[in-house]
């Protein structure tokens, strides 16, 4: 699969963004809001529209990162399959070297059943206290390596870092060339004031030959957050099997007690399905084909809303064509909104992708016959991505937006809303300005910083404003 396929995911979601903002997903048979300039209501609705698309980019980046290799998918404490293997080898190397020296001097502990054959404690130059020991069973040839590092002052926020590695030594404990790692578990405890309380992860590799590296396995991880964070706990499970593909599960327990869940299955040929369940009942499901060998990539996504929500559902699809000469591409995005009365509205958008200084830049432009539309750009960054753009909504407002989104699902936006594009171009002041902070589930709080109705407010994941 080609590395550029991740960029199609971002473009797909940005297209959803601009289509949704321009059309506002309103039933065309219903009368327009007679008070469209209510700053809190408009900031909540517009902000959530931006957030939902941007956060989906973040979700899809995690879920479909396999298109750039399964090492793009990581779980807490152990990382990806490749990083987990590096972690194991890095922690085992000094222990093996020390055991080899003990054996040469004839000081290796004697073995009888489960026996501690090696143990040492020391304090390094950073003041970190280390306790390492190895338990070996001569009847099975299995060994358990324990490594505990205690940080008195919380080095990089970590108070205690403990690792357990289970090995099959093939009855040759001093010779690591025929070792097979059967399990890795890592656990970290963090100091008070850090945003995390603990982080732990486990890798159980698929069987592999001595001297080789694991090519598959099951990785499971958990993060528990300190009080006051947007999330209270995140659990992930990643299965990678060469012949079967990839399965990914993620569950986020929010500080409010509500949950967010995502699941994806990926076949070896690059096709797959995904399902995301949001607090409040919204469900997103779709399919994708990101193999890219024929220079074509496609996605579909269906969003259904709970209860008597209107619109009832949104269907989105995208097809892209790659130019292998320079890795640029163009694509078309279609969005259909279905309402309770059976009516359907649709929009179509063209998308272009370029690369600037090694980071992806995706620009989507839409120009509808009813005067709505605009341009939105997503710029990839090392820590997440930024969004910047402008558009005209159905009421004729001209809206400027810029925001930053992190990979943990949170985000911040700044909105400026003008009476019209002409008002903006002639130097008129905006109707209002607003800043918004988003929790991982899309709810959050905002503040109207200028205009006739200043003040703070909260909003749910659908953009409905509260107090």
| Domain end marker among 226, 249, 283 | 226
pLDDT-derived band at 245 (thresholds 50, 70, 90) equals confident
User: What average pLDDT does this structure show over 187-212?
Assistant: 92
Tell me, what's the pLDDT at 108? 61
In sequence order, what DSSP letters do the residues of 179-219 get, joined into one string? -EEEEEEEEEEE-TTSSEEEEEEEEEEPP--TTS----EEE
Q: Does 416 or 370 have the greater pLDDT score?
A: 416
Mean pLDDT for 149-177 is: 87
Q: Is the pLDDT of residue 358 over 80?
A: no
Which pTM was predicted?
0.71
CB 387 within 8 A of CB 374: no
Q: Are residues 46 and 90 in the same domain?
A: no
Same domain, 302 and 340: yes
Residue with tokens 């008002």: 423
Alpha carbon of 186 to those of 98, 162, 165, 277, 369: distances in Å? 22, 6, 9, 29, 57
pLDDT of residue 72: 61
Average pLDDT over residues 294-299: 76
Of 200, 226, 252, the last residue of a domain is: 226
- 326 shares a domain with 406: yes
Q: Is residue 254 part of a domain?
A: no
In this prediction, residue 82 has a pLDDT band, given cuts at 50, 70 and 90, of confident
Confidence of residue 153 (pLDDT cuts 50, 70, 90): confident
Asked if 309 and 428 sit in the same domain, the reply is yes
pLDDT score of 448: 86
Within 8 A by CB and 6+ apart from 257, the residues are none
Query: What is residue 78's predicted lDDT score, i.e. its pLDDT?
Result: 86
Q: What domain range includes position 408?
A: 5-64+260-459
Q: How many domains does the chain have?
A: 2
Asked if pLDDT for residue 331 goes beyond 70, the answer is yes
Q: In the structure, what pLDDT confidence band is assigned to residue 269 with cuts at 50, 70 and 90? A: confident
Same domain (yes/no): 205, 308:
no
Asked if the model's pLDDT at residue 19 lies above 70, the reply is: no
pLDDT in tens, 383-439: 778 889 998 877 888 989 898 877 666 788 898 989 999 999 999 999 889 888 887
Count CA atoms within 13 Å of residue 52 on its CB side: 26
> Can you tell me the mean pLDDT for 168-187?
86
- Cβ proximity of 39 and 457 under 8 Å: no
Q: Quick check: is 464 in a domain?
A: no
Q: How far apart are CA 2 and CA 52, in angstroms?
A: 27
Asked whether the predicted pLDDT for residue 219 surpasses 90, the reply is: yes
| Per-residue pLDDT at 411 | 82
Same domain assignment for residues 163 and 219: yes
Query: Does residue 225 surpass a pLDDT of 60?
Result: yes
Residues 165 and 47 reside in one and the same domain: no
Task: Among 178, 209, 226, identify where a domain stops.
Answer: 226
- d(Cα 302, Cα 313) in Å, to the nearest integer? 7
Name 250's bridge partners: 236, 262
Residues 340, 394, single domain; the answer is: yes
**Residue 94 domain flag:** yes
CB under 8 Å, gap of 24 or more: what pairs does 268-273 form? 268/242, 268/243, 268/244, 270/1, 270/5, 270/67, 272/64, 272/245
Q: Is residue 250 part of a domain?
A: no
360 and 398 inside one domain: yes
pLDDT tens sequence across 42-53: 676 666 666 655
Residue 232 lies in a domain: no
Q: Residues of the chain with pLDDT > 90: what percent?
A: 22
Q: Please indicate, yes or no, if residue 251 is contained in any of the structural domains.
A: no
pLDDT for 251 equals 93
Instruction: Pick the range with the lowest mean pLDDT from 144-148, 449-453, 456-460.
Output: 449-453
* Strand ranges, E, within 424-464: 432-438, 444-450, 455-459
Of residues 27 and 428, more confidence is placed in 428
- 464: which 2 tokens? 């409905």
Q: What is the pLDDT of residue 201?
A: 95
Q: What is the mean pLDDT of the chain?
A: 79
Residue 68: what pLDDT?
47
Taking phi over 0 as left and psi of -120 to 50 as alpha, with beta for the rest, 252 belongs to beta
* 428 and 310 within one domain: yes
Q: Are residues 215 and 100 in the same domain?
A: yes
Cα→Cα distances 292→289, 334, 354, Å: 8, 20, 17
Contact between 384 and 405 (Cβ < 8 Å)? yes
Q: Do the beta carbons of residue 14 and residue 80 sit within 8 Å?
A: no
Q: Which of 146-150, 289-293, 311-315 has the lowest mean pLDDT?
A: 289-293
Residue 24 has pLDDT above 90, yes or no: no
Q: Residue range 110-128: average pLDDT?
A: 82
Q: How confident is the model at residue 39 (pLDDT cuts 50, 70, 90)?
A: confident
pLDDT higher than 80, residue 447: yes
Instruction: Specify whether 198 is located in the same domain as 270.
Output: no
Is 231 part of a structural domain of the chain? no
At 184, the pLDDT band (50, 70, 90 cuts) reads very high
Q: Does residue 51 lie within any of the structural domains? A: yes
How many percent of the chain have pLDDT more than 70? 78
């Amino acid at each position: 699969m080609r590395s550029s396929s991740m960029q199609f995911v971002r473009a797909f979601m940005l297209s959803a963004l601009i289509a949704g903002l321009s059309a506002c997903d309103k039933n065309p048979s219903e009368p327009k809001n007679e008070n469209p300039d209510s700053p809190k209501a408009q900031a909540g609705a517009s902000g959530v529209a931006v957030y939902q698309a941007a956060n989906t980019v973040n979700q899809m980046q995690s879920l479909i990162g396999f298109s750039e290799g399964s090492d793009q998918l990581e779980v807490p404490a152990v990382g990806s399959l490749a990083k987990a293997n590096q972690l194991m080898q890095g922690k085992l190397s000094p222990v093996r070297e020390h055991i080899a020296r003990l054996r040469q001097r004839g000081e290796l502990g004697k073995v009888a059943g489960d026996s501690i054959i090696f143990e040492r404690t020391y304090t390094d130059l950073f003041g970190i206290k280390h306790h390492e020991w190895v338990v070996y069973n001569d009847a099975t040839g299995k060994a358990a390596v324990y490594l505990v590092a205690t940080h008195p002052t919380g080095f990089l926020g970590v108070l205690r870092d403990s690792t357990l590695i289970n090995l099959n030594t093939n009855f040759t404990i001093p010779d690591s060339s025929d070792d097979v790692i059967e399990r890795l578990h890592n656990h970290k405890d963090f100091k008070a004031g850090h945003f995390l309380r603990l982080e732990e992860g486990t890798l159980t590799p698929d069987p592999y030959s001595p001297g080789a590296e694991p090519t598959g396995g099951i990785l499971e991880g958990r993060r528990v957050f300190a009080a006051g964070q947007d999330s209270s706990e995140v659990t992930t499970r990643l299965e990678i099997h060469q012949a079967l593909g990839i399965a990914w599960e993620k569950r986020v327990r929010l500080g409010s007690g509500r949950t967010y869940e995502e699941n994806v299955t990926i076949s070896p040929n690059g096709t797959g399905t995904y399902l995301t369940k949001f607090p409040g009942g919204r469900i997103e499901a779709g399919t994708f084909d990101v193999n890219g060998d024929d220079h074509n990539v496609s996605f579909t996504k269906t969003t259904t809303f709970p209860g008597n929500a209107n619109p009832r559902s949104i269907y989105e699809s995208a097809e892209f064509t790659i130019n292998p000469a320079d890795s640029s591409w163009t694509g078309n995005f279609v969005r259909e909104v279905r309402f309770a009365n059976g009516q359907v509205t649709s929009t179509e958008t063209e998308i272009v992708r370029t690369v600037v200084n090694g980071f992806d830049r995706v620009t989507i432009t839409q120009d509808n016959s009813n005067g709505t539309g605009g341009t939105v750009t997503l710029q990839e960054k090392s820590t997440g991505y930024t969004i910047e753009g402008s558009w005209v909504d159905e009421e004729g407002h001209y809206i400027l937006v810029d925001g930053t989104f992190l990979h943990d699902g949170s985000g911040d936006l700044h909105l400026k809303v003008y009476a019209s594009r002409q008002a903006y171009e002639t130097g008129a002041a905006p109707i209002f300005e607003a800043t918004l902070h988003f929790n991982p589930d899309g709810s959050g709080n905002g503040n109207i910083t200028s205009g006739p109705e200043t003040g703070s407010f909260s909003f749910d994941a659908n953009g409905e404003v509260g107090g």
